[in-house]
Structure 1
Amino acid sequence: MSVLGSSIKEFTPERSWPTLRGYPPRIERGDTLDVPSPLTVSDTGVEVVVRPTYEDVYRLSTLSYYLGARMTTGDAPAIRLDNGYEERLPTEGRPLEERVTELLKTWFFLDTLARMEGYIPSDRHAYEAVGSSLPFYPPNLADRTMSERLMEYFEVDHETVSPHLPAWPTEAVLRPAPAAAELLPHLAHFLAPIRVRGNSILSAPHERLALATAVPTHGQPSAAHSDVDNVPDVTADPIPSWSSAISSVAYDNDLHRTPPDHGDLNVVFLIRSADRAQGVRNVLTSPSVPDGIGIFSVLEAPEAETVRDVWSGSSADLVYSDLPIEDGHLVAADGPVTLPSTGRPGRPSEQNGPAVSIFEGSRDVDIGFDALSRGGVAAAFLDRPFALDQIRTAITLLASVGAPLNTTLSVASGAEPPSVRFAGNASMSVVPPTTPVIELVFVESKSVSSHELTLGTPITPASWVGGEYNVSPDFLDKRARLIGYGISATHEVTSEEVAGVAEEPETVLFLNGELVPPGGDLTAEDVEISARSVDSNAEPPNFRHCE
């Protein structure tokens, strides 16, 4: 654990930039300790003290990684600084988790303020709100030692900074089992707070080794997330909505895969009925196939051999299936589908299976682990079908924009989204995002000529937590914000301003709930037509003509 921080290039506040943190070295279970010689314990002057239990090690692992701290054992959890100061931490599990989470998020945020005059100077929007409450000017701490900075940071309450934190990529729940240790480097990369629940033995088939929250990070509230507990239950059946059953195989597969170039995405649909199969073809081709797709296939009532080939022998990157799932197996036209064994349980797959699989009509994520064992990175399970337009929106966001999977399914599902569950890395992108930062812009018309706008930025593999952005629309405050922190207040805008927002390459615009195709030619007249449909409860316009 003490060498996880060896991927961090420096331990000034600049380490809050994602490009300076790197990817922590992986952990693999074995019979003896073997740490490759290039990996060393960072000399930061900080020690994280844990009791010699899986619970303590797991709960403190992400904070230890971010601090580049040496992890040592002791009688009680604590943080020791080389100036002699020791901060005792709670000994009970849940208070310990909450305290460690508060310290991680508070110190990370203060680091992002301390770097304001550093490598990439920025005028931070959040500093105006929080600066007067701090007992120091953050950039003055940039050149101090880690211990000196932390002594100042200890004086800042979490409540002071919590309203200004970005949405966090994920939080995880692990069992105190040795097998869960392989997840720690991947979760540290996400800066994921870790909680520990249950015991080390899975006592029922539906129980999970580890879960992670999969709530999208674009900062927009959604009814889909109202039932998400901050601590998903590893014994729940099914797992909570907007949670993911995680496996180190999924993260390793993502690190080893080569994503398709823009325009080369291969999408396969497995559709049980002739009518819906034709509907999928129509919605994907009218007026044209979404940008980013190289080839797509709609397989109507496929037989078992065809379904097996999709996961075992095809070149599909993304699979969308509405086939029935019974007893953990897809049911093809001629019966249940049994996929052949990969022969590599628990190891990154040598097969080139679909990176993403989306299944309709199921809450059981077991079949997702089959997909992960064949090279998959994530599988999603919708407890009810998407409408045809929602399918097109989802495919457009995944193929044309490179939006994360969880964000895609949240915003594509509209005002009454289904419950969604995941296996693997729910925040992955099947293709690289087309711009460094994706701005999701939501516009609601209040009259024909007046509209309200909110904006959020999902955290993606190309714009990770700690990055900054300046909003594209000229009429909004241009000061830098952390990615994952949107503009929560609504802004009144004109029809012309809405049309101008649609021209920005970074923005993905939803106008009165309908996706405006990225890079389209939306006009002020189009905006007003949409507004009139809202006022009259008429059928909303189809913006596909803007392509």
Structure 2
Amino acid sequence: MLSFEPLDTGLEVVDAVEGRRYVLDSSESLSPAPADPDRFRFPVDSAVEVETSEFRLVEPVEGFVRDETGDSVLQVSPGTRTDLPSAAYSVELNAPVKLYLRVDGALTVDATADLMIFRFDPPVLVGARSYHHHPAATVTTTDDPRDVFAAVSTLSSALKTTSPERSYPTLRGHPPLVERGDELRIPDELTAPETGVRIELPPTLRAATVAAPLSYYLGAELVPGDDPRLVVDGDAHSLAGPPGFERNVERTLKRAFLLDCLVRTEGYYQVDLYEREQVASDVDLDFASLYDASLAERLDATLAVPFETLAPHVPRWPLVAHVDPTPEAVAVLPFVAYDLGVVRTADARRASPDEVQSSVLDAYLGQRRGGAGDESEDDSPFVALGDADAVEQVWFGDGVPLDATKGIPAAFHNDLRRDVDPASIDITVVCNECEMTAEQAVAETVYGSREQLPFDVTLRRDCSTDELRAILASSADLLHYVGHVDDDGFRCRDGTLDAETVDSTGVHAFLLNACRSYEQGVALVEAGAVGGVVTFSDVVDSGAVRVGRTLARLLNLGFPLRSALQLAAGESIVGGHYLVVGDGSVDVVQVEDGIPTLCDVETAGSEYEVTPVTYPSREAAVGTMAYPLVGSNEQHFLAPGELATFRLSEPELREYLSAHGSPVRKDGELVWDDPP
């Protein structure tokens, strides 16, 4: 639900479902009146008309000015100062809520790194579109693989286009849900696009599970066949050769996606894309012709390019999902496909005690090393996953994964049912351990430090079991728990509380900074939470404090759980004892700069080498473009992943850091501008 809230000096646009907001300052009070969303060329969910001649954006975002046909007239970035003649203009703003301004008349744009100003003749139309996507329907399937094929083939009905622009996350809708039943039932309103592409596979659950994300993105029907192959307008491309079926599906998805990202620069967003510049010299492709080609024609062109040529330029993939191909697992496929996750079915094994210790050390040292694989024990509760070049690995199966998220299907359904209070961001900090008050003090100071967001931070100390039960039952965007957990549950001043005895929780995300909090975290997800950070073993208090305070800072900046934990784990030797349970993409607040970004700084004599590293988020999924305002850069980059490295002087570095709210890792160590 979108709303336009008048302020004393401007207008605040609020997305209640996603918990996002953005302010358009006008230096005067406004009275928004409802307007017809169809007056905008691009789709908006809601619109208003206001009488004002100026909007000031104190949190500048990337913007584009378009003419009445939708063609780009101007890209707005720091340093833009332009007077445009009288005409009909659409100003597109990539804010935490997607915004459009419709202006009829002359338009003046004046932008710096700290302020963006638009001046125009009143009135102005303001349109907004939520980044939230909700499944349109539910498909029911039996356990018969042929019925599962039919169910998976409906996932692409959520695509809003089959043009190259589908590589933008806002044009990939959430696939319909899939549930098990006694017969195949596909709602009439679900219509997959006609693309001329199909995927022929042996009729097995494994084949359907692995191919689901590719089917979704390509709009390809799954049909039974003798050998796995991709058929494009009658031309067959084998998916069975080296390096194997699963890797071939992965490579096909990444190739098709990357080419769409390169070709779309011929359309509405004609920007200087770094990856296109790098690839263009290595391939013989006519990007302009491919933009107007059909999906099948573009796919044929993609498959003619060796994967090795394109691989260095593919953005860092957001997700590798390890899924056991069982009838129960079919329900998670829409969520994995929505993230364009790569699916693997057999790349895991039980981990030995030596491997557990090795994984913990690797998390601290920031590397992965081979463990004592031959010493694996059948009764080990831990699972070792294969290497994957992805932001997140998630394990949907029995056991505790090392260096990965424990996926719990209930978490994703909990997120769909979440009821958000747009009035405030509610954070509860509970400290039930006097020796960890340092973490409590940091959490109390950090949460709510972003003045432009409506935080409501509650601090509780030394809770009883009844008090903690009430906290768990109440609503909160984040619960940060500091204390102890034993086999019986959370340790309180009058006993212990087992989260399995809590029927339901209103907690959205949580950080349980206590020894062996894994089981309690899983219970909270099963009771209604979406995701959280837990530990699978004992952690030393001093190390737990370092990890906890770093997580608090990163979550407060808008980093999702999994990305925040990846960075925080290196702060202490105990960091490898932590993992995410539920949905690792959960965040607590919106990101100030649109994309969660780490500023990686390496000292180079009297200068510094600066590499922005981007991470995926709800509104900045794979395919988003990043435009780092650093040095003389004029190029866009695909996110997530490392962008280019820029060499800056000390004054230039200070200027860059002062204009961004990003965390900084200097010479391998996270540093902060406030005392720990």
Q: Report the number of matched residues.
A: 485
Amino acid in structure 1 at the alignment position of 2:475: S
Amino acid in structure 1 at the alignment position of 2:513: E
Shift of 1:316: 2.4
Q: How does 1:320-469 map to 2 (within 5 A)?
A: 320-327=480-487, 329-339=489-499, 353-362=506-515, 365-382=518-535, 384=539, 386=543, 388=545, 390-399=547-556, 401-416=557-572, 418-419=575-576, 420-445=578-603, 449-469=606-626
Amino acid in structure 1 at the alignment position of 2:534: F
Shift of 1:194: 0.6
Amino acid in structure 2 at the alignment position of 1:88: S
**Which residue of structure 1 aligns with residue 656 of structure 2?**
501
State whether residues 223 and 416 of structure 1, in contact with CA within 8 Å, keep that contact through their aligned partners in structure 2: no
Shift of 1:253: 2.1
**Which residue of structure 2 aligns with residue 311 of structure 1?**
472
Shift of 1:11: 0.8
**Which residue of structure 2 aligns with residue 85 of structure 1?**
235
Consecutive unaligned residues of structure 2, counting only runs of 5 or more, are 1-151, 352-362, 370-384
Task: Give 2:442's match in structure 1, choosing from 274, 283, 290.
Answer: 283
Residue by residue, what CA displacement relative to the aligned partner does 1:177-230 show, whole Å, maximum 9, x if unpaired? Answer: 11111100000011001111399xxxx9x9xxxxxxxxxxxxxx9834526633
Amino acid in structure 2 at the alignment position of 1:435: D
Rounded to whole Å, the distance in 1 between the matches of 2:321 and 2:446 is: 42
Shift of 1:53: 1.0
Rounded to whole Å, the distance in 1 between the matches of 2:526 and 2:163 is: 39
Amino acid in structure 1 at the alignment position of 2:617: T
Shift of 1:361: 4.5
Rounded to whole Å, the distance in 2 between the matches of 1:370 and 1:290 is: 31
Same amino acid, percent of matched pairs: 26
Q: Which moved further from structure 2: 498-507 or 451-460?
A: 498-507
What TM-score comes out, normalization by structure 2 length? 0.66
Task: Give 2:365's match in structure 1, choosing from 223, 227, 230.
Answer: 223
- Would the alpha carbon gap of residues 115 and 363 (structure 1) be closer, same or farther in structure 2, given more than 3 Å must change? farther
Amino acid in structure 2 at the alignment position of 1:37: D
Residue by residue, what CA displacement relative to the aligned partner does 1:245-274 show, whole Å, maximum 9, x if unpaired? Answer: 212321222233245658x33222333322
State whether residues 402 and 431 of structure 1, in contact with CA within 8 Å, keep that contact through their aligned partners in structure 2: yes
Q: Which moved further from structure 2: 28-37 or 286-295?
A: 286-295
**Which residue of structure 1 aligns with residue 254 of structure 2?**
105
What TM-score comes out, normalization by structure 1 length? 0.80
Q: How does 1:256-275 map to 2 (within 5 A)?
A: 256-259=417-420, 261=422, 264-275=424-435
Q: How does 1:16-35 map to 2 (within 5 A)?
A: 16-35=167-186
Residue by residue, what CA displacement relative to the aligned partner does 1:457-502 show, whole Å, maximum 9, x if unpaired? Answer: 1111111111112111134x3211011132354x432221122112
State whether residues 486 and 515 of structure 2, in contact with CA within 8 Å, keep that contact through their aligned partners in structure 1: no
Shift of 1:129: 1.8
RMSD of aligned Cα (Å): 3.1
State whether residues 364 and 381 of structure 1, in contact with CA within 8 Å, keep that contact through their aligned partners in structure 2: yes
- Would the alpha carbon gap of residues 134 and 410 (structure 1) be closer, same or farther in structure 2, given more than 3 Å must change? same
Matched, 1:250 2:406: no
State whether residues 260 and 431 of structure 1, in contact with CA within 8 Å, keep that contact through their aligned partners in structure 2: no
Matched, 1:238 2:391: no
Rounded to whole Å, the distance in 2 between the matches of 1:10 and 1:105 is: 18
Rounded to whole Å, the distance in 1 between the matches of 2:651 and 2:347 is: 55
**Which residue of structure 1 aligns with residue 108 of structure 2?**
none
Residue by residue, what CA displacement relative to the aligned partner does 1:305-358 show, whole Å, maximum 9, x if unpaired? Answer: 22222222x232212224333347333333332346677xxxxxxx55211111
Amino acid in structure 1 at the alignment position of 2:592: T
Residue by residue, what CA displacement relative to the aligned partner does 1:95-149 show, whole Å, maximum 9, x if unpaired? Answer: 1101100111111101111111112112111122221221212332111122222
- Would the alpha carbon gap of residues 229 and 298 (structure 1) be closer, same or farther in structure 2, given more than 3 Å must change? farther
Shift of 1:35: 1.3
Amino acid in structure 1 at the alignment position of 2:631: D
State whether residues 311 and 374 of structure 1, in contact with CA within 8 Å, keep that contact through their aligned partners in structure 2: no
Rounded to whole Å, the distance in 2 between the matches of 1:471 and 1:451 is: 16
Amino acid in structure 2 at the alignment position of 1:503: S
Rounded to whole Å, the distance in 2 between the matches of 1:389 and 1:222 is: 12
Q: How does 1:114-193 map to 2 (within 5 A)?
A: 114-193=263-342
- Would the alpha carbon gap of residues 238 and 100 (structure 1) be closer, same or farther in structure 2, given more than 3 Å must change? same
What is the SS of the residue equivalent to 1:474? coil
What is the SS of the residue equivalent to 1:317? strand
Shift of 1:451: 3.0
| More RCO (CA 8 Å, sep 6+) | 1
**Which residue of structure 2 aligns with residue 346 of structure 1?**
none
Q: Choose between structure 1 and 2: higher strand proportion.
A: 2
State whether residues 427 and 456 of structure 2, in contact with CA within 8 Å, keep that contact through their aligned partners in structure 1: yes
**Which residue of structure 1 aligns with residue 201 of structure 2?**
50
What is the SS of the residue equivalent to 1:354? strand
Residue by residue, what CA displacement relative to the aligned partner does 1:275-325 show, whole Å, maximum 9, x if unpaired? Answer: 423x2343345699522573334433322222222222x232212224333
Rounded to whole Å, the distance in 2 between the matches of 1:287 and 1:426 is: 22
- Would the alpha carbon gap of residues 498 and 328 (structure 1) be closer, same or farther in structure 2, given more than 3 Å must change? farther
